[in-house]
Amino acid sequence: MGGFREPGGFFDFFSEVPVFFRLFIGAIFLVVISVFAYVIIKGLRIFADVYS
């Protein structure tokens, strides 16, 4: 990475994190996104039912 290393930066912190923890964060991120999408679709469906 050369001399481009911010001490205390987000990517510096991320490179110190074990791979397992990275996968864990990724899994949580995916779950949150899928729940968010499900809620949006559900809300749109209710909205469409009410206004059809």
Give tens-digit pLDDT for 1-43. Answer: 455 555 556 666 666 767 888 889 999 999 999 999 999 999 9
* Closest by CA position to 25, among listed 33, 41, 4: 33
Check whether 46 has a pLDDT greater than 60.
yes
User: What pLDDT is attached to residue 32?
Assistant: 97
Global pTM value: 0.50
Q: Where are the domains of the chain?
A: 10-50
User: What pLDDT is attached to residue 19?
Assistant: 80
User: What pLDDT is attached to residue 18?
Assistant: 79
CA distances from 10 to 5, 7, 17, 49 (A): 10, 9, 11, 44
SS (H, E, C) 3-29: CCCCCCCHHHHHHHCCHHHHHHHHHHH
User: What pLDDT is attached to residue 4?
Assistant: 56
